[in-house]
Amino acid sequence: MGIRKKTSKNPPVMSHEFVIQNHADIVSCVAMVFLLGLMFEITSKFAVLFITVQYNVTISTNGPDETAVNYFHHGIKDLATVFFYMLVAIIMHAIIQEHVLDKINRKKHFSKTKHSKFNESGQLSAFYLFSFGWGASILLSENFLSNPVNLWEGYPHTLMPFQMKFYFICQLGYWLHVLPELYFQKTKKEDIPRQLVYIFLYLVHIAGAYILNLNRLGLVLLVLHYFIELLFHVSRLVYFSNENRQMGFTVWAVLFVLGRLLTLSLSVLTVGFGLANAENQGFDLAAGNFNILFVRITVLAAICLTQAFMMWKFINFQLRRWREHGHAQTLKKKQAPSKSKSKKDKGERRATYLLFINQRHMIFSV
């Protein structure tokens, strides 16, 4: 992400610079319009589509004490909710940037390269920490980790508890908000393709798990992935404060490889074996059942290709680090003899100068 330069001059209204400097205030006003819509009966039905989670289903539990439990399924109206929480993500991004990251940047005086990477890691660390904690609490409350069979048993999982559906809505809203942030943060042109690739991968996998009713598997894989990415970005923030602290990168490298293996194992176990042997097979769009061979192969191919792409990027990253470390060690070895040689030459010149002074003193004394 680029560096936003604050100038004393006020840019023209609705110019590019005006929008970039005041985008958080503009988006806040748009979000406030939806909130104000709840106050009036005429507009409340429209505003509710954007603010609250849609497609509520109430199910009564059988037993002596009948209780009503609310579940939710997905639908086209979720696009409006995703849009609203994309606006919320833009506002939160600006708050973290202005009140936390910019203050640290002013104290540390980072270079332009470090400034950009620090902002990126700071924003993603906050998001990954929040998403990991929230996702882990859902996994524990729903007991999805107690038995791996829960990942595919009872498919299609069309009904979700409120926390799970809201979690996926917020995830989609966050990764969609990164697209306008490329403009608001003045991202360099050479960095845009890299940003677009990982935004696209996140949106495809999260939306795929949400639409295909693989929300349980998607939640487990997201929590696992977010924990590993959180460790990387926290390690990078620590590295910027003290370049000698690189232990976090070593731990991250080990967990990254293990995370890829665990992701592939859970995906193959759930899609390749669990759903393949399930009784409820077939394609039924109304019932949300996508358990057919073509969909299973497509899902596994997408996951495997993504994991292979991430491993390829990881290997290139590690090779580049090793080459840079080896090059730095070579330069140190070359500089050490040159320094000792320069000291020796300096000593010889000093001895010659002293000898010349003594001889000159003896000649003039005679």
For the stretch 29-52, pLDDT in tens is 999 999 999 999 999 999 999 999
pLDDT of residue 353: 41
* Radius of gyration in angstroms for the set of CA atoms belonging to the chain, rounded to a whole number: 29
**Which residues of the chain are modeled with pLDDT < 70?**
1-9, 62-65, 336-366
Decide: 213 and 283 in contact? Cβ < 8 Å: no
Cβ-count burial of 96 within 10 angstroms (0-12 exposed, 13-18 middle, 19+ buried)?
middle
Residues with Cβ < 8 Å from 50, sequence gap 6 or more? 34, 80, 81, 83, 84
Both tokens of residue 236? 């990078």
Q: Is 60 helix (H, G, I), strand (E, B) or coil?
A: strand
- What pLDDT does 360 receive? 39
Q: According to the model, what pLDDT value does residue 222 have?
A: 97
Residue 72, strand partner residues: 56, 160
Predicted TM-score of the model (pTM) = 0.85
Residues whose CB is less than 8 angstroms from the CB of residue 317 and which lie 6 or more positions away in sequence, other chains included? none
3-state secondary structure of 289: strand
Residue 68's H or E segment, with its range, is: strand 68-72
Closest by CA position to 185, among listed 233, 122, 235, 142: 122
pLDDT at 14: 75
Where do the structural domains in the chain lie, given as residue ranges?
Answer: 112-328
3-class state of residue 290 by DSSP: strand
- Which pLDDT value is given to residue 217? 96
For tokens 């926290």, the residue is 234
Residue 234: closest CA among 307, 125, 117: 125
**What values do phi and psi take at 69, rounded to 5?**
-115, 130
DSSP string, 160-185: B-HHHHHHHHHHHHHHHHHHHHHHHT
Secondary structure element (H or E) that encloses residue 291, with its range: strand 289-291
**CA dihedral sign of residues 268, 272, 277, 279:** positive
Please name the residues in contact with 160: beta carbons below 8 A apart, sequence gap of 6 or more.
71, 72, 73, 168, 215
Q: How far apart are CA 313 and CA 50, in angstroms?
A: 38
C-alpha to C-alpha distance for 110 and 240, rounded to whole angstroms: 9
Q: Where are the alpha helices (DSSP H) in the chain?
A: 16-21, 23-37, 41-51, 78-96, 102-108, 112-142, 162-184, 192-211, 215-241, 247-267, 293-365
**pLDDT at residue 358, as a whole number:** 45
Number of neighbours of residue 165 by Cβ within 10 angstroms: 23
Q: Which residue's structure tokens are 């669990």?
A: 274
Q: Is 91 exposed, middle or buried (0-12, 13-18, 19+ CB in 10 A)?
A: middle
